[in-house]
Amino acid sequence: MSVSIDDFVDNVRTDVPMCPDPAIEDAIRDSITDFCKQTWIIQRDFVYNNVEGAILEELNGAPVIEFDGVTPTIPDVGMRPVVVIKVFVAEEDTPTDYVPLALMSKLTLSARPHQYWEAQETDGLPTAYFPVDNATIRVYPVPTINYYLTLRAAFKPKRNASSFDDLLYDDWLEEICAGAKYRLFSRPSKPWTDYDVGIFELGLFKTGIGKARILINNNFSSREMQISLRRFTS
């Protein structure tokens, strides 16, 4: 479910009545983006079924995803990935028995030539992954069998977003609005400029980020046990 940016605007406008709505909307988008980047509060799991070398597969109407054998990529879900958090794999015969992959460091990857890692194959499951960028990973060693892969990533809204995950509204409305008001009150030479109030709102925003981080960290271990096999739907 999603909520409109108008729902957030209504909660900010009352405290900054002289500010035009476009400026309020920009401040809300910046606040939500910052909140999502710092907390990883919005997360999605993507399950890729029967991964194998060099295939093209369309998952229930989702964007076509190209696999080159080692590079699963997150499809476009109307948001931008912040970071890949966890990667799980399972054998084709036991798709619900997921095993987490270890995160490979840049130091380990750079210790040997690129060709070395590309040549490493296995007739079992991969054991490690390396994040190529925010949306793409490479797995090592490269499996020669079909397998299931679940990729969990944290997201932030796109810059032109006009609707947002309802979790942000239901659970973090006060904190996100505080972040928006901090940005508005801190703008110089505006009729609504008030640096003291801006600092107060910034404190509320940072406190919310701290609470969200604690919540996410406490949920990591429990969520790893709750992976369910499902196809991605947009």
**Could you tell me if 130 and 161 lie in one domain?**
no
Q: How far is CA 51 from the centre of its chain?
A: 22
Question: Could you read off the pLDDT tens digit of each residue along the chain, which spans 234 residues?
Answer: 789 999 999 999 999 999 999 999 999 999 999 999 999 999 888 777 766 533 333 333 333 333 344 456 666 657 888 888 888 988 888 877 889 999 988 788 778 776 677 677 778 888 888 887 777 777 888 777 778 888 888 999 988 889 999 999 999 999 999 999 999 999 999 999 999 999 999 999 999 999 999 999 887 544 444 443 333 333
Sheet hosting strand 137-140, strand order edge to edge: 102-103, 128-131, 137-140
**Could you tell me if 53 and 10 lie in one domain?**
no
**Could you tell me if 52 and 99 lie in one domain?**
yes
Q: In the chain, how many domains are there?
A: 2
Virtual CA dihedral for 47, 85, 93, 126, nearest 10 degrees?
130
Domain that holds residue 118: 43-156
In a domain, 225, yes or no: no
* Strands 102-103 and 121-122, sheet pairing: unpaired
**Could you tell me if 122 and 183 lie in one domain?**
no
User: How far apart (Å, rounded) are the C-alpha atoms in residues 33 and 155?
Assistant: 9
Look up residue 136 and give its amino acid. Answer: T
User: How far apart (Å, rounded) are the C-alpha atoms in residues 74 and 94?
Assistant: 23
Among the candidates 109, 135, 156, a domain finishes at 156
Place of tokens 């096999």: 229
Asked if 42 and 85 touch (Cβ cutoff 8 Å), the reply is no
Place of tokens 């090592």: 140
Q: What is the pTM of this model?
A: 0.79
Asked if 32 and 80 touch (Cβ cutoff 8 Å), the reply is no
